[in-house]
C-alpha cells in the first residue's frame, strides 16, 4: 500500500482544520461561553448560574458541567411564560 493511501493529503487536512475552526467559532458564540456564568455543584447536579439567584437569573443544570452548560444555553433562549 502506497504512503498516499494511508495518509491524508494536505488539502484533506486543510478541510479538517477549516471544519474545526468553524466548530470553535460556533462554540465561542454560545451564551455559556460569552457570559461566563458561575459553575457550581447544587446537590447532585452541576449548576451554571448567570445572575444573583435562581429567581432573577438564568440557570442550567446537569449531571456534568458540560450538560449544565448546554442546559444554560437552552434556558438563555427560552421565553418567559405567563402574561408578559
pLDDT digits (tens, 9 = 90+) for 37-66: 999 999 999 999 999 999 999 999 999 999
Q: Domain coordinates of the chain in residue numbers?
A: 8-77
> How high is the pLDDT of residue 3?
45
8-30 pLDDT per residue, tens: 565 565 666 666 667 777 788 99
Mind giving me the DSSP string for 6-60?
Answer: HS--HHHHHHHHHHHHHHHHHHHTSHHHHH--EEEEETTEEEEEESSSTTTSEEE
| 31 or 22, higher pLDDT | 31
Q: When comparing pLDDT for 81 and 58, which is higher? A: 58
Amino acid at each position: 500500500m502506497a504512503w498516499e493511501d494511508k495518509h491524508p493529503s494536505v488539502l484533506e487536512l486543510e478541510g479538517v482544520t477549516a471544519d474545526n475552526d468553524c466548530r470553535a467559532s460556533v462554540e465561542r458564540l454560545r451564551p455559556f461561553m460569552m457570559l461566563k456564568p458561575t459553575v457550581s455543584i447544587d446537590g447532585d447536579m452541576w449548576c451554571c448560574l448567570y445572575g444573583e439567584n435562581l429567581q432573577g437569573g438564568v440557570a442550567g443544570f446537569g449531571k456534568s458541567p458540560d450538560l449544565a452548560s448546554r442546559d444554560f444555553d437552552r434556558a438563555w433562549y427560552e421565553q418567559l411564560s405567563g402574561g408578559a
